[in-house]
Amino acid sequence: MDFAFTPKQVALQQWVRQIAEEKIAPIAEEADESPTVHAGLMAILANEGLLKYCVPEEYGGVGVRVMDLCIIREELARVSCQADTNFIMQGLGSYPITLGGTDEQKAKYLPPIARGESIAAFALTEPHAGSDVISMKTEAKLDGDDWVLNGQKKFISQAGDASTYTVFAQTEPGQGSRGISVFVVEAGTPGFDDSKRMDLMAAHPTGEPKWVDCHVPQANLLGERGRGLRLAMGTLDTFRTTVAAAAIGMAQAAYEASIEYAKNRQMFGQNLSDFQATQFKLADMAVSLDAARLLAQRAAWLKDSGQESVIKEASFAKLFGTEAATRIIHEAVQIHGGAGLERGNRVERLYREVRALTIYEGTSEIQRETIARQILKD
């Protein structure tokens, strides 16, 4: 559906591609192998104004539109996975504030996020509560004028580098989906420790923040008490489609690298691209890329057009896009042969990086369950 882009969207795509290729690509390998937020990379995103796409216009942004986010994520992920992560976490970490915050909360927290002065984090997942959000153990109890938080999160992107955390906690134990609230917690708050990092198969700025008798002012509660899950789901439903876009960008990079390698690799007196087996792999990669892109763009267009729910369409995009990218990058390594296993090779890094995408923001299994519920309800 590239042909359906508006002139403004075409210009956005070309602009982000230029930034990615000219400014981000030279530091991409260094940044993508860093377990912490790369300061130089974040500075580029901030200085170029890309972070403004994660924040509403009235608070220093340009507005949050899913198609714009998809365009940006695809172009960034095609060059650097950390650039993509740094960009989208500003949106994911701040969107509960956009959805449920008071005017005062939005005015305080959103402009610095749009300028890149404040790094945002979305603290939902726990050691034993990933897909099963309701089983989270982190609690917040009201004590006078403060909420007191106790608990631990895990797999929190940008933890340790972030200054603004949106933290989900049980405030009404036993109330299920109506028992979770969300708070803004600032780094450095007494009782809050975000120093523990995680070492993943592909370098990623992620950690395990914890709260021990951490006092948070009542003014830091976002939205209504006990309605935090609604803010979490509203945030994920908005951003889920963009995960597919990031996967497409990664797969596009692997596809381009495979074509280039196949055209220049000599085997048995001919190019690797002359073999039918290679041609079939490239053909399947191209078809999967196009199909994934169309699904993502459809879901984004429907969301931006005001369709009340895109749960099914976003799950289509996330499921197919991430699994297609995984297959494409797998085949890219196969085409590269031994060269594809070598550290420093782009497809080797993509092979490690893409694996997380079928897991975070709803596993493939959860996407299938969601899709099944939607089609059986129709």
Query: Tens of pLDDT along 190-229?
Result: 999 999 999 999 999 999 999 999 999 999 999 999 999 9
Q: Is 211 helix (H, G, I), strand (E, B) or coil?
A: strand
Residue 134: pLDDT band by 50, 70, 90 thresholds?
confident
Q: Could you tell me the domains of the chain?
A: 2-118 (1.10.540.10), 122-226 (2.40.110.10), 230-377 (1.20.140.10)
The residue assigned the tokens 């057009």 is 305
170 contacts 138 by C-beta, under 8 angstroms: yes
Tokens found for residue 356: 């997380």
How far is residue 57 from each of residues 63, 115, 125, 172, 330, measured CA to CA in Å? 5, 13, 29, 34, 40
pLDDT grade for 361, boundaries at 50, 70 and 90: confident
Over 50: is that where the pLDDT of 298 sits? Answer: yes
Q: Please say whether the dihedral angle defined by the alpha carbons of residues 123, 329, 30 and 201, taken in this order, is positive or negative.
A: positive
Q: Does residue 176 register a pLDDT over 70?
A: yes
Give me the chain's average pLDDT, please: 94
- At residue 31, the pLDDT reads 95
> Per the structure block, which two tokens stand in for 223?
């939205």
Beta bridge partners of 146: 143, 217
Q: What is the pLDDT of residue 331?
A: 97
30 catalytic? Reply is: no
Judge whether 243 and 76 are in contact, CB under 8 Å.
Answer: no
- Which of the following is catalytic: 313, 348, 353, 361? 361
Given a contact cutoff of 8 angstroms between Cβ atoms, the answer to whether 215 and 168 are in contact is no
pLDDT at 3: 54
Binned at pLDDT 50, 70 and 90, residue 82 comes out as very high
Confidence of residue 267 (pLDDT cuts 50, 70, 90): confident
- C-alpha 265 chain-centroid distance: 35
| Number of residues written out for the chain | 378
Three-class secondary structure of residue 82 per DSSP: helix
Around Cβ 110, how many Cβ atoms within 10 Å?
Answer: 26
pLDDT in tens, 319-355: 999 999 999 999 999 999 999 999 989 999 999 999 9
C-alpha–C-alpha distance, residues 366 and 372, integer Å:
10
Compute the average pLDDT of residues 2-31.
Answer: 92
Distance CA 340, CA 336 (A): 5
Q: Is residue 106 within 8 Å of 59, Cβ to Cβ?
A: yes
Q: pLDDT tens digit string along 20-67?
A: 999 999 999 999 999 999 999 999 999 999 999 999 999 999 999 999
Residue type present at position 293: R
Residue 240 φ/ψ, nearest 5 degrees:
-60, -40
CA distance 332 to 254: 6
Residues contacting residue 108 through CB under 8 Å, at least 6 positions apart? none
Provide the pLDDT for residue 1. 45
Global pTM? 0.94
pLDDT score for 152:
96
> Looking at residue 197, what is its pLDDT?
95
Half-sphere exposure of 108 (CA within 13 A, CB side): 14
pLDDT above 90: residue 309: no
Query: For the chain, what is the radius of gyration of the CA atoms?
Result: 21
